[in-house]
A and B are shown apart, each in its own frame.
Chain A
């Protein structure tokens, strides 16, 4: 506890100590507590904790992340970037499928099925770093070499939603 008079005199020291040592000072006025001086980092931490109390999904996400790390599951930045890129590509492919379906009058699901089949064939052809010639487009080559195993994981994680449903139904 510090009286407001003492706190005023010692403020630079109190402020530094609060930040460095995480000390807290109750400032009193006329003998009664009036305010608390805490370090900036501690204040931010308290705010973040209070925020988490109201966000159970965020807490669940932290716990899930911790559990995965405990199991040794972790990704390098290159792997994260590759996953983000594939998701972006899938989103673009979905938009494209919808546009083709719209123009041709064929159902989006049929267009998507053909596109996915085409993608798989292209991968087979190009996995060795080769290229393929598409009529009207010319020679197409992989932008980056495929890392063994990565592609399989990405393919497993990312599927067009309606195709996943259909495949499950077939089983």
Chain B
């Protein structure tokens, strides 16, 4: 089972968007599901030196939020959150 984490930026994004506790519960549940079954969402063809060659950026839509995340064998990391 993969662990999952949020970047401080993603946390800051959620605070900026005034995410309610209920909304975060839904987001967190979805992220936990993705950690079990990553890649179920679509890949964003995003090229950046910060991304390792083996890494891809994925997008998941949850309610009004768009989560950008990466994953590897060990864990899933939510990079940022957009509206």
Most buried by B among A52, A61, A87: A61
Task: List the 7 closest A-B pairs by CB distance, nearest first.
Answer: A65-B79, A66-B50, A74-B5, A65-B9, A65-B7, A44-B42, A41-B42
> Separation in Å of the A3 CB from the closest CB of chain B?
29
Known contacts being A61-B13, A65-B9, A87-B15, is A77 close to B46, with CB within 8 Å? no
How many residues from A make CB contacts under 8 Å with B?
Answer: 34
Interface size on B, residues (CB 8 A): 36
Which residues from A are CB-within-8-Å of B51? 66
A62 interface contact, C-beta 8 A: yes
CB distance from A81 to the nearest CB of B (A): 6
In the complex, whether B62 has a CB less than 8 A from a CB of chain A is no
Q: With contacts A66-B50, A77-B6, A80-B6 known, is A45 near B44, CB below 8 A?
A: yes
